[in-house]
Structure 1
Amino acid sequence: MKRRNVLAALAILGVTAAATTPAMALENEFHGMFQAQYINSNFNGAATTSFPGNNAASYGGDTQYVPFGLPKHVYSANFVEQRARLGYTAKASSDLKLVTQFELDYAYWGDSSYGTHRNHGAAIGADQTNIETKNIYLDANIFKDVNMRLGMMPYNDSFKSIMFDADMAGIAFSSSYNKFTPTIGFFRFNDTGNSKDNVLGHLTNDLFVLDGKYEVNKDLKVGAAYYFFRNNAITTDSNDLTNIDFQQDVKLHTLGLNAEYTAGPLTLNGFGILEVGTVNARATTAYALNAGAKYKVGSGKAHAEFLYVSGDSGTTGHSNAFYAVFNNVGTAEHGYYDNEMVILGRDKNAMTTDNSIIATAGNFGQGQIGGYIGYELPLTDRLTTAANAGFAAVAKDNGAFGKAHKSNYLGTEINAEANYKLLENLTGGVRVAYVFLGDYYKGVALNGETPVNPYDAKIIFKYAF
């Protein structure tokens, strides 16, 4: 046999041998989602006060409604937004797996092509490099009843995500002892040392987590958590989102309690949070209170939510402004979705464009007061409908955006939606929302006028696999 034939035979044998190694025991799991939605809105898509106008709350925005000093009339935008998420899990055994997830977004059809930019590539010709890495982490049961997650993972607080809800790098251990489930973890949000003093670990934004849940009985569950926020990174001041080159100085202890109680068709839940420490040289004592209820009525379900977050009327001295997690460019990495709002609060269907009147828990240091009700009614096994209403106000008016306002009342929202199951994993839906602005916005537009009321309408297609 010629030498090259011998080498070829050995190569084939090597590939065959590799295919019979234990690596072949890997169980490969693929999952993901696709969502496309048509949006017609004077709130999302065009800048929220004028077009082309200000940069806040625009295409691909993650910002707060800021109509101050701008024309009252708003152009209505119409566009299509698209997202796909692709997940792959390499499962070595029931105790060990690698979890990954990737995302491809189009902020709007027709944005750009033949380039390199996240959230773009939907113009003619496509050929855009825009894939994003969301998660890469190890999920392992390292001891009996002890689970470890290590890497870039999704993680949220135990208080309806009003403090943090994001992908973050860290390590978390959780366990289960009869009815008690404890968790301990450490996460590093940002490390800006390399850009300032060239020493990694010196200028960081970190979180330490202690969390526990206890099932008292089948009807009552209680929980408690301690979070320590330590942030001295170069980032955006959480109480001044216009300051983009600010060294944070946060040392904040957070204690929280939560509970859920079920009695027949009624479920009650809620939480209380206390923050104590310093935020940017200001001694801080802040708190948040929540109560929620769900009640089965006929073939549907009614729900109600109340949220109070403390605010501060000043910018010096002792502060009651509530602290929640931002990234290093000032985007909120948290959200309160249980209120089922579209414009007053963050929208559950929002993707790249994610704007709202209350975009952050702290609400520019002003805090918030909100009450929300809704009813979900399935009409058939394929068609589900829902309607919601809510009001919101700032807890304290601190003269944000230049001057005191006529009132603390932000506005009232009404919204409705209908979703129809087209196929087993494909749903088509419609959601519309309208907000009657409160006197907080009276006379704040250009020439002392009042902004027009915002609306948002979506036609949504979702596929999950």
Structure 2
Amino acid sequence: MAMQAGHQKQFNANGSSRQFHGWAANLAAKMPIGPGTAKTAFLFTSGNNSTDASHYKGWVTSSINTYNEGGMMILTRNQANSPGSTDTYLRRNVTNVALASLGYDANLTDKLYLNTNLGFGWTPASHQELGVGTQNSSDFIGTEINVETGYKVYSNLTLKAQAAYLMLGGLYKDTATNDATKDPENPYTMRLLASYAF
């Protein structure tokens, strides 16, 4: 668990000051079962639910960051399984999110593995989200399911295939900018990677 507190002078044109109070918590566990490892994780980072501009209650990140324990590919940024620079996430800055995840990493052979994960995301402060002028239907971001398989060609070279699909929740209801549809399409990703260790 971590807490933030800070003070910013003259944060606007009126010369007003602003207080910062945010917090975050992370809990993860894993256990060997059968040919692999079962794992679970929970992440919480506060969002700004304050109606007072002089008091910011969200978790503040100084730069783009990553959360690897949940094994997500779309919900939150994860450099462990998404090392590319072109990946897109709903939470590229890991803030204002509650994430619960389950997963299983299976070693099928000495060279072949299969990992799968299931994650559920919420926003602790939904009123600050999206900025499209509509009231969020709920705090639920959505449900992600993903899978990764890999084959170790050499001791320093692994070929990987990944796929992920996210079913958007009520947070995104009626938020599509296209007049022909009210709800945005569910995002997905499929990719091939070669991981080489120098």
Fold agreement, TM-score > 0.5 = yes
Aligned to 2:103: 374
Inter-partner Cα distance in structure 1 for 2:157 and 2:147: 20
- State the secondary structure of the residue aligned to 1:335: coil
Contact 1:311 1:368 in 2 (8 A): yes
2:31 is the counterpart of 1:295: yes
How far has the Cα of 1:374 moved from its partner? 0.5
The one of 171, 192, 196 aligned to 1:459? 192
- The percentage of aligned residue pairs carrying the same residue is 30
2:124 is the counterpart of 1:395: yes
Superposed CA deviations along residues 182-202 of structure 1, whole A, max 9, x for unmatched, are: xxxxxxxxxxxxxxxxxxxxx
1:99-118 aligned within 5 A: none
The one of 66, 76, 83 aligned to 1:345? 76
Inter-partner Cα distance in structure 2 for 1:301 and 1:277: 40
Inter-partner Cα distance in structure 2 for 1:398 and 1:439: 13
Give the TM-score, by structure 2 length: 0.87
How far has the Cα of 1:315 moved from its partner? 5.8
2:6 is the counterpart of 1:277: yes
Contact 1:347 1:354 in 2 (8 A): no
- State the secondary structure of the residue aligned to 2:126: coil
Contact 1:307 1:371 in 2 (8 A): yes
Inter-partner Cα distance in structure 1 for 2:158 and 2:21: 45
1:122-271 aligned within 5 A: none
Letter aligned with residue 278 of structure 1: H
2:72 is the counterpart of 1:335: no
Aligned to 2:164: 433
Contact 2:48 2:128 in 1 (8 A): no
Structure (1/2) with the larger helix percentage = 1
Inter-partner Cα distance in structure 2 for 1:410 and 1:451: 12
Inter-partner Cα distance in structure 1 for 2:148 and 2:161: 5
Letter aligned with residue 408 of structure 1: D
Name which one, 1 or 2, has greater alpha-carbon Rg.
1
How far has the Cα of 1:273 moved from its partner? 0.5
Inter-partner Cα distance in structure 2 for 1:351 and 1:440: 27
Letter aligned with residue 458 of structure 1: R
- Gaps in structure 2 of 5+ consecutive residues: 12-16
Contact 1:341 1:413 in 2 (8 A): yes
Inter-partner Cα distance in structure 1 for 2:7 and 2:126: 21
- State the secondary structure of the residue aligned to 2:57: coil
Give the TM-score, by structure 1 length: 0.38
How far has the Cα of 1:452 moved from its partner? 0.9
Inter-partner Cα distance in structure 2 for 1:442 and 1:282: 32
Inter-partner Cα distance in structure 2 for 1:392 and 1:410: 5
Letter aligned with residue 402 of structure 1: V
Letter aligned with residue 321 of structure 1: G
- State the secondary structure of the residue aligned to 1:340: coil
Q: How many residues align?
A: 184
Aligned to 1:259: none
2:61 is the counterpart of 1:324: yes
2:148 is the counterpart of 1:411: no
Letter aligned with residue 170 of structure 2: D
Inter-partner Cα distance in structure 1 for 2:89 and 2:52: 24
How far has the Cα of 1:461 moved from its partner? 1.3
Contact 1:294 1:302 in 2 (8 A): yes
Superposed CA deviations along residues 21-43 of structure 1, whole A, max 9, x for unmatched, are: xxxxxxxxxxxxxxxxxxxxxxx
